[in-house]
A and B are shown apart, each in its own frame.
Chain A
């Protein structure tokens, strides 16, 4: 009898503790949730909602999915989606391979050189897009640029190329700069995860006479897979969101040839003030990014 009463009391007490813990937890979460709901979730809902409106400086009227229908027939938007995909598809494998190469090389260096190189490859990210683009704009300049000068003094070109002014070149210029600002983080990640590779297995495979390449393929690579997945996802998101470089370098030109979804969205919203239409683009962009990330998870998580 008394034990039952004790149990009941204990139970009631533990429930009280749990209630109190829940209260405390939510109090600790409160500031974060306020910011998160106020400046992420709420604007997200607002964005989706207004994408069904003809929403400009003067107007605000419900038009259903007409913004979306217009998007599918908008050739500049089509061009922007294509460019976005080209940038993502070209930069992800490049960034992954190059950063993996850098990481494996600098991982074998002494601590000081390792952090030196890690810092150097991070430099373009830390400097920020604006200073980086200032320099590259000069590099690509038709008349004062060092690229044309180098190529013509080597005899590769006979006439100065208008790198940023011609559709066939401009997007590759964007890609080149994006590349230099994308590899810093993957290198840091790869160096860190190389440190987590089981050294005894590496040594065992070396004793067994495996070549460096075999050791890499069979011992190191499998344990780098989660990092590779993460790198693929963040590089994809980064490339999809490539905006500052384009706005500063080409403003989407010439003729929309370097316009991305992100740039076109900005242009639509802040130059011609069609907010609803721009928000519809934002929704589509979010869907594309989610689809890409899900796809990468499925491809790379096969053996889990």
Chain B
């Protein structure tokens, strides 16, 4: 009896037959979503014979590192580095550019504010693919096609980050900035010392979001990067798949190398990630 009383509403809820049934169902569906990740990791350690077995081995019995040895004949580390570099630089640039813009759009009154903001929001609904070909031309003209910058720069131009930072900045109390001004702080000082620290959770969210988006921006990588050494890891795997379609082991090893790092990063920063998505939308 007494334990019943000390149980929270949540715990009591969890014991209801409805929730038990739902939880079991949820676990089954969840397995379907974990499966691809599990399968490329275990597949990358199976021998070529084992990989094509029907019925499949659910766990590698005949494990081997051969596929990884073969994978590193290719510039796979370079691909991994390229992906990390593009994602990291884009992440830093987006955070700086978007926080500056989002802050003034939320907190300053100036002519043209509404027009600029509306233009940014309208552009977000635009399919990025519609500007793909002109972007390729621009990168050619700038002489940076087939470099990481061709992928980085367009992702910084995308207004989602500004939109998100504006939503977050609206939560900064105006009195704090007022106080800073009365104390004689300049605009830059106010931004660096008052605004930026208050946007910390927003930076976390935007940073991880941008990192994952750029890492997985297969289409942009596909049209911008061409020479073998300059590929991203995703594009590298896709290239291997096109060249060695039946060598599942090699492709799975590549897919493991491409997805394990990003999944680990996601798990580490999941808290910020979900906060960011939720805040960016619920208030918007």
| Distance, CA A143 to CA B248, complexed state (A) | 14
Asked whether A247 lies within 8 Å of B222 as measured between CB atoms, the reply is: yes
B216 within 8 A of A: yes
A38 within 8 A of B: yes
Chain A residues, CB < 8 A from B259: 126-128, 131
B252 within 8 A of A: yes
Given the known interface contacts A47-B131, A134-B251, the answer about A36 and B258 at a Cβ–Cβ threshold of 8 Å is no
Chain A residues, CB < 8 A from B19: 105, 108
B262 within 8 A of A: yes
> Closest approach, in angstroms, between the C-beta of A57 and any C-beta of chain B?
12
B96 within 8 A of A: yes
Asked whether B241 lies within 8 Å of A282 as measured between CB atoms, the reply is: no
Interface size class of B (residues with CB under 8 A): 35 or more
| Distance, CA A289 to CA B126, complexed state (A) | 7
| Distance, CA A262 to CA B130, complexed state (A) | 9
Interface size class of A (residues with CB under 8 A): 35 or more
A210 within 8 A of B: no
Chain A residues, CB < 8 A from B23: 105, 109
- B contacts with A: majority SS: helix
Asked whether A244 lies within 8 Å of B33 as measured between CB atoms, the reply is: no
| Distance, CA A125 to CA B36, complexed state (A) | 11
List B160-176 residues whose CB lies under 8 Å from chain A. 162
Q: Determine which of A25, A39, A188 lies in contact with B278 in the assembled complex, contact meaning CB atoms within 8 Å.
A: A188
Contact with B along A144-173 (1 / 0, CB 8 A): 101001000100000000000000000000
> Closest approach, in angstroms, between the C-beta of A78 and any C-beta of chain B?
19
B55 within 8 A of A: yes
Chain A residues, CB < 8 A from B267: 119
Q: Which of B59-67, B69-77, B108-116, B196-204 contacts A (4 or more CB under 8 A)?
A: B108-116
B37 within 8 A of A: yes
| Distance, CA A25 to CA B105, complexed state (A) | 8
- A contacts with B: majority SS: helix
List B92-142 residues whose CB lies under 8 Å from chain A. 96-98, 100-101, 103-105, 108-111, 113, 116, 119-120, 123, 125-135, 137-138
> Closest approach, in angstroms, between the C-beta of B49 and any C-beta of chain A?
12
Chain B residues, CB < 8 A from A149: 54-56
Given the known interface contacts A43-B135, A135-B36, A135-B40, the answer about A241 and B237 at a Cβ–Cβ threshold of 8 Å is no
Which chain A residue has the least Cβ–Cβ distance from B219?
A243
Chain B residues, CB < 8 A from A146: 54, 56
A62 within 8 A of B: no
Which chain B residue has the least Cβ–Cβ distance from A282?
B130
| Distance, CA A119 to CA B273, complexed state (A) | 10
Q: Determine which of A46, A130, A193 lies in contact with B237 in the assembled complex, contact meaning CB atoms within 8 Å.
A: A130
Q: Which of A26-34, A67-75, A86-94, A214-222 contacts B (4 or more CB under 8 A)?
A: A26-34
Asked whether B129 lies within 8 Å of A29 as measured between CB atoms, the reply is: no
Asked whether B219 lies within 8 Å of A126 as measured between CB atoms, the reply is: no
| Distance, CA A18 to CA B112, complexed state (A) | 13
Chain A residues, CB < 8 A from B138: 38-39, 42-43, 46
Given the known interface contacts A40-B159, A121-B30, A240-B127, the answer about A131 and B281 at a Cβ–Cβ threshold of 8 Å is no
B218 within 8 A of A: yes
Chain A residues, CB < 8 A from B11: 110
Asked whether B127 lies within 8 Å of A120 as measured between CB atoms, the reply is: no
Q: Which A residues have a C-beta under 8 Å from some C-beta of B?
A: 18, 21-22, 24-26, 28-29, 31-33, 35-36, 38-44, 46-47, 50, 102, 105-106, 108-110, 115, 117-132, 134-136, 138, 143-144, 146, 149, 153, 180, 185, 188-189, 191-193, 196, 212, 226-227, 230, 233, 237, 240-241, 243-244, 247-248, 262, 265-266, 269-270, 275, 278-279, 282-283, 285-286, 289-290, 293
Those 9 A-B pairs whose CB atoms lie nearest each other, nearest first: A192-B278, A39-B157, A282-B130, A43-B134, A32-B101, A131-B255, A128-B216, A43-B131, A46-B134
Q: A126-B212, A189-B282, A192-B281 are in contact. List 7 more A-B contacts (CB 8 A).
A: A32-B97, A36-B120, A44-B131, A119-B266, A121-B33, A127-B259, A212-B18
